[in-house]
Structure 1
């Protein structure tokens, strides 16, 4: 019986069938990998070993060097294959500006791959939905992030920060270092959950494992938001849940990463930290408190935050799908083609930024001289991050209150700048690190 099975598997007919199937698969792959060549777009030869051209694309250790090589070899526009799917990578800032704004009606959506990665509930989130549904939900959610609503959340942020200051005070008194990622992640989670759910949920005292937090998050999926977002009447329950998950996930992790990376930058640049603290002290002395207007008016703080987001952006790249055949600055882009925007590289391009791996807030002094295509921490155009103002306010307020009372410095084992990063759901430090904190 065994001999019969073996002989059947390796019979001439079986080998011929397998060979034909493999040839057809190889022919299909070859046809798919001809699209960029037919469009006349230069690109590196794809291969099965590289999964098209995908190997290494999510490694920040190699992505900048590789993109610099491709840019200098092929110019400001070239192609690549993500598996079998072709895409066009554009470094030309004029073309990117057109895609984001003037030609937005032809490039309104992100690629479909995202809808298969985030799960059923997240398919209702703003980052993946398309067309009229995106317009409707974006319009419904926009009032939640209006300036007047943001000003009302200041007391929530202030209340959450009071718990963070107590934690840092205990670390300072004991002389023990603190885990920067853990402290700022718990703070960011505390702020976003308290703001979104309209309730006080202390995630900091228990290291983010508060049982009440889990109860509130479970309630979210049965009753929706308790806070101001719950007043929305133009979106369905599933849409509300999907965007609630998006706001909590993106709002907590991305803000935490910026605060963590900025604390690291300031620890290794004490002169910058002292200058920032002087601005914080002057503002508090003049205003008597920190509110939306006083924090927004702090120029050097904004420079430091912007430089941190340039050095450690949230995403490696952005993307848009071409809705119909379009010509942008003479480049023909066919329907359904994915356009890749190399956000991380544009923020580190040595042809544009002097010493791109150095932390230099002064380069952000005159933002009118900074091309927004080179620095887009929250995206650009109509599909830019809806929570941008909230995130900036939370980050600036956290830094104002912590730096007014404390100073950061590195430990012996703290990794030196620039931090090595990896891409998970967003760009995050590759390893957790500790910092010393001392009361001023």
Structure 2
């Protein structure tokens, strides 16, 4: 009985501490004299954002009312909304050394992992990784990939000519989508997917599945926005779940139909395989992956 009372007291103290912390967070903009639209306790402005069709239009309306610099709360997390060009230039260019960090991505929050990529890393780790790959994006090196892009463009021009001769309506968005995927796969990963001539291509299908997912509307995403303290826990559970799913599919092949791997992990696994093959191939063609690998080997990243 005494132990139960002690545990209950601890639980009540934790809840009161968390509520007090939320109240403290909601003073963030007030203490800095930054205007903010009316918000709800615990939800902040999230319910208003979730319930509109266009988040950008809501932000435009708030900008009209509260000015070019104001604040909103994503749950209990304060977020600046800025449309002042001079302010943005000062933050992103003149004072980049002080503001190099960024927000975690929606899908993951594994910035503390030693294997965090440039998509997941944060703070100094992200800054160092960006410094390593920056030489890859020089205009001279990007021009070396022009033949790969030109070949993809020639294919879509041929397709457009065929549709013109047929005198029938067609959806040009589908053609542009396949063109874009072909360019990305060829220039970034060195894969000749030929999606413009092969609509059943597995990379195209997995990419369609990936972009069909509305992460912002997913219950887990909303829960992570409301309780950011659990972000890393949710992300790790998500990764472990998909790892286990992949192992089941590997050792029990017939389970693939029952436990299909999520598109993002399917694509990541293919990329890992491509990187391993490229590291073994000394006569690889010039593409973004090769340039990044060359840049990465010239400088050791330490955290």
Which of 61, 74, 89 is the matching residue for 1:82?
74
Partner of 1:235: 296
Please tell me whether the aligned partners of residues 197 and 227 of structure 1 are also in contact (alpha carbons under 8 angstroms): no
1:36 is the counterpart of 2:62: no
Number of residue pairs matched by the alignment: 226
- Once the 2 structures are TM-superposed, how far is the Cα of residue 85 of structure 1 from its aligned partner? 0.9
Q: Any idea what the Cα deviations from partners look like across 1:3-62, whole Å, max 9, x if unmatched?
A: xxxxxxxxxxx999998776555444223222222222221232147x211235478854
Partner of 2:274: 220
1:130 is the counterpart of 2:190: no
Q: Distance in 2 between matches of 1:44 and 1:92?
A: 18
Distance 1:33 1:224, change over 3 A: farther
- Once the 2 structures are TM-superposed, how far is the Cα of residue 107 of structure 1 from its aligned partner? 0.9
Equivalent positions of 1:367-406 (< 5 A) are none
Q: Distance in 2 between matches of 1:158 and 1:151?
A: 11
Q: Any idea what the Cα deviations from partners look like across 1:247-290, whole Å, max 9, x if unmatched?
A: xxxxxxxxxxxxxxxxxxxxxxxxxxxxxxxxxxxxxxxxxxxx
Q: Distance in 1 between matches of 2:157 and 2:149?
A: 12
Q: Any idea what the Cα deviations from partners look like across 1:203-250, whole Å, max 9, x if unmatched?
A: 2222261579989756314334744343534537xx99xxxxxxxxxx
Distance 1:234 1:82, change over 3 A: same
Please tell me whether the aligned partners of residues 110 and 128 of structure 1 are also in contact (alpha carbons under 8 angstroms): no
Partner of 1:104: 96
Which has the larger displacement, 190-199 or 62-71? 62-71
Partner of 2:165: 173
Which structure dedicates a bigger proportion of its chain to strand?
Answer: 1
Q: Distance in 2 between matches of 1:218 and 1:210?
A: 17
- Once the 2 structures are TM-superposed, how far is the Cα of residue 184 of structure 1 from its aligned partner? 1.1
Please tell me whether the aligned partners of residues 136 and 295 of structure 2 are also in contact (alpha carbons under 8 angstroms): no
Q: Distance in 1 between matches of 2:167 and 2:51?
A: 36
Please tell me whether the aligned partners of residues 118 and 130 of structure 2 are also in contact (alpha carbons under 8 angstroms): no
The Cα RMSD (Å) is 4.2
Q: Secondary structure at the match of 1:104?
A: coil
Distance 1:107 1:17, change over 3 A: closer
- Once the 2 structures are TM-superposed, how far is the Cα of residue 166 of structure 1 from its aligned partner? 3.0
Partner of 1:191: 183
Please tell me whether the aligned partners of residues 70 and 81 of structure 2 are also in contact (alpha carbons under 8 angstroms): yes
1:145 is the counterpart of 2:137: yes
Mark the runs of 5 or more structure 2 residues left unpaired by the alignment: 1-6, 207-266
- Once the 2 structures are TM-superposed, how far is the Cα of residue 183 of structure 1 from its aligned partner? 1.4
TM-score, structure 2 normalization: 0.58
Which structure dedicates a bigger proportion of its chain to helix?
Answer: 2
Q: Distance in 1 between matches of 2:64 and 2:87?
A: 18
Q: Any idea what the Cα deviations from partners look like across 1:339-369, whole Å, max 9, x if unmatched?
A: xxxxxxxxxxxxxxxxxxxxxxxxxxxxxxx
Distance 1:21 1:68, change over 3 A: same
Q: Secondary structure at the match of 1:88?
A: strand
Distance 1:66 1:194, change over 3 A: closer
Distance 1:223 1:25, change over 3 A: same
1:70 is the counterpart of 2:62: yes
Q: Distance in 2 between matches of 1:196 and 1:161?
A: 16
- Relative contact order higher in (CA < 8 Å, ≥ 6 apart): 1
Q: Secondary structure at the match of 1:178?
A: coil
Distance 1:208 1:147, change over 3 A: farther
Q: Secondary structure at the match of 2:36?
A: coil
- Once the 2 structures are TM-superposed, how far is the Cα of residue 162 of structure 1 from its aligned partner? 2.4
